[in-house]
Structure 1
Amino acid sequence: MLKQQAVLHDSFGRRHDYIRISVTDKCNLRCVYCMPEEGLPFFPDERVLSCAEIIQMVKNFARMGIKKVRLTGGEPLMRSDIIEIIKGISAITEIDDISMTTNGLALPKMAKRLYQAGLNRLNISLDTFDKKRYKEITRGGNLDRLLKGIDTASQLPFKKIKINTVIINGQNDHEIADFLKYTFDHDVNLRFIEFMPIQQDERWKKQYRGLDAIFNACQTNHWIYEPIRLDGNGPSENYKIGGAKGSFGLIHPISCNFCESCNRLRITADGYIKSCLYWDDEENIRAAIFDFDSFREKIQHALAIKPKNHEMALLNQEQVKNKKPTWRHMSQIGG
């Protein structure tokens, strides 16, 4: 049992009990909203946090009131020691929820091992049901393999499986009704996510599609939906269509500010803490991982400078004084 410290709060009074840790910047896909078409040079292995550093870091966070951990990437299942990492975090009694965001391609072989290691929940990316379009959006992915991974994971008693769907104007927005139909027969929470301009030029505005289209699809098909509450720390507004096994959620980083209830900090694979995914503010905490007092000081500083909101929807970013958008692509932040 670790010696518990005071719960973390930022300068706006938001309580933080949730940490997102990118365990690698490597990925076997190059999704259009996450990475440039030519790919990115990946960090050398020595630049990435080790298994021991990640586990000790979570122990530090647990002493500061963190209860929930999400492992992200890149693609976290590309780490050969991911099972060891999950087991190490699972052994920390103060942590009561461990989740992972994955592209799902390795789940046919790894889902059972992940569950047995202590993983509680999964978020799996699925942006289209069309094989050709999936290959285009992911720049090379195999849709059959992904769907098999979702089915494999669904046979295991995970607390919840969520499907992450980024709506892209002109690419998959015509499939909204198909995604909603998917919840009829699958006990998942399918979350529609607005396209975010992380390391995107002005073309992102043409790719953006507001999530009012989801409600329009329900009305067109005469589907009656009601708001519901789901356990967890996600920013989604959740709904359920009458008679459906699953549910759907909406995440509005652009059209509706979801920052007011933000309770998360992000750790990059190379050991930097980001209090907001959009801005450039970050601090290297790697050297402090095995010195708790120094570590706590760095985390408190990150909370002190955490902004009230990301303002990424501003038409003119120059309106934001003394800040600039992050240099990192989404795959280097962990979402």
Structure 2
Amino acid sequence: MASATNHPKTVASHVRPNDRLGRPLGVLRLSLTARCNLACPYCLPDGKEPPGLLTLEQRLGVIGAAVNLGARSLRLTGGEPLLHGGLEELIAAVQPLRATHPERPGLREIALTSNGLLLTAERAQLLRAAGLDRITLSLDGTTAGSVARMTGLADTAAGERALAAVLAAIEHARAAGFDPARGALKLNAVIHRGANDDQVLPLAALARERGLELRLIEFMDVGSRNGWQSEAVLSAAEMLEQIGSSWPLEPLGRTAHATASRWRYQDGRGSLAVVASVSAPFCGDCNRLRVTADGVAYSCLFAAPGSGLDLKPWLKEESSAAELKLAIAALWNQRSDRYSEERNTTKSANSKHAEMAYLGG
């Protein structure tokens, strides 16, 4: 889907830790598959893989290079990553890249984002045993109808089954040792005005009841298929006002490089987070590099189709780890993306974006 924009001979030999705006590389979001078992209208995956999926060895090469360049967090994504049969093997194989001392560079966490439908009790245990630290599950409604509508399922009966599966997955993850009190288990919800904005309070109530941090995400213009319009965005401020009117909140702020601003319930019943990419962009300290399942690196979620760097030329047997590291460094060094801050400018008007399921969200 994209071609290499550099060649090993042209990659600069000097590796800088920051991009053109002074942002370091801190998070690698690695997509394992573009396929999904749902068809959420804000994502709309292809339902098939791009050609040339990376092998386990190639993925480990990409992760190793990113860690050497400063990545301390690895998030495994899709599509739906639980569709990838080698998931546990990959997580186990990454363990030697962990930091073993506070002063030793290395991975600090390995996380997974999933819709939860395939997270059985056994799978949760296997993931934990392999070395996964955190799971974020997605749930965009608390009723069969809202779940069916937000996942592209055929009817309320299918929505009921999906809802039950996600609620069970939460408990499977908890039982496997993913403790929400330590931030190891969270719940994502994309809110689309006119589609599921009536679910903000019910989702907050569900999360409070189950002791989970709920992360409310503004509907974003990712890809070119979801019919995004600014009028469909329920802003983070509006969500917070709704929830705060029922359960008063106090701010915890947004830590450096984080996507979410966090809030604490004043009654002590946990926390809440909002991802306000549209209404309050956080491009200024974005530190995320995305690599697709077929090995194309993108430095922005809102990148244009075909604009990524195909890493496969540096993932051949005859290539060295040093060459791969320099290729990724060159991409990062020339990065100046800040689409969300420029969303309403002439520069970004009518721009096309690569699809979310391909980029890994």
Q: Does TM-score exceed 0.5, indicating one fold?
A: yes
- Please say which of residues 179-188 and 147-156 is displaced more in the overlay: 179-188
* Structure 2 counterparts to residues 259-278 of structure 1, below 5 A: 259-278=283-302
**TM-fit CA distance, 1:230:** 8.2
CA contact (8 A) 1:162 1:188 kept: yes
* Structure 2 counterparts to residues 74-85 of structure 1, below 5 A: 74-85=79-90
Say if 2:245 is the partner of 1:220. yes
CA contact (8 A) 1:6 1:65 kept: no
Superposition TM-score, scaled by structure 1 size: 0.88
* Structure 2 counterparts to residues 1-335 of structure 1, below 5 A: 8-35=17-44, 40-43=46-49, 47-93=52-98, 94-109=106-121, 110-140=123-153, 142-158=162-178, 159=182, 160-198=184-222, 199-200=224-225, 203-221=228-246, 223-228=247-252, 234-280=258-304, 281-289=307-315, 290-311=319-340, 314-315=343-344, 318-320=346-348, 324-326=351-353, 328-335=354-361
CA contact (8 A) 2:31 2:291 kept: yes
Q: 1:194 & 1:12 partners in 2: Cα distance?
A: 25
* Residues 71, 219 of structure 1: alpha-carbon distance in 2 compared, 3 angstrom cutoff: closer
CA contact (8 A) 1:184 1:243 kept: no
- Please say which of residues 291-300 and 224-233 is displaced more in the overlay: 224-233
Letter in structure 2 aligned against 1:330? M
Deviations along 1:104-137, one digit per CA (max 9) or x if unpaired, are: 1111241111111100001111100011221121
CA contact (8 A) 1:183 1:245 kept: no
* Residues 311, 231 of structure 1: alpha-carbon distance in 2 compared, 3 angstrom cutoff: closer
CA contact (8 A) 2:220 2:228 kept: no
SS at match of 1:248: strand
Deviations along 1:244-294, one digit per CA (max 9) or x if unpaired, are: 443110111111111111011000111111011102231101221352232
SS at match of 1:154: helix
Letter in structure 1 aligned against 2:119? L
Identity among equivalent positions (%) equals 26
* Residues 203, 233 of structure 1: alpha-carbon distance in 2 compared, 3 angstrom cutoff: closer
* Residues 90, 101 of structure 1: alpha-carbon distance in 2 compared, 3 angstrom cutoff: same
SS at match of 2:217: strand
Superposition TM-score, scaled by structure 2 size: 0.82
Greater relative CO (CA pairs within 8 A, separation 6+): 2
Q: 1:50 & 1:111 partners in 2: Cα distance?
A: 23
**TM-fit CA distance, 1:200:** 4.1
- RMSD value, Cα: 2.4
**TM-fit CA distance, 1:21:** 0.3
Q: 1:104 & 1:232 partners in 2: Cα distance?
A: 28
Letter in structure 1 aligned against 2:245? T
Q: 2:347 & 2:257 partners in 1: Cα distance?
A: 30
Letter in structure 2 aligned against 1:194? E
Q: 1:84 & 1:219 partners in 2: Cα distance?
A: 43
- Please say which of residues 70-79 and 236-245 is displaced more in the overlay: 236-245
Gaps of 5+ in 1: none
Q: 1:279 & 1:200 partners in 2: Cα distance?
A: 14
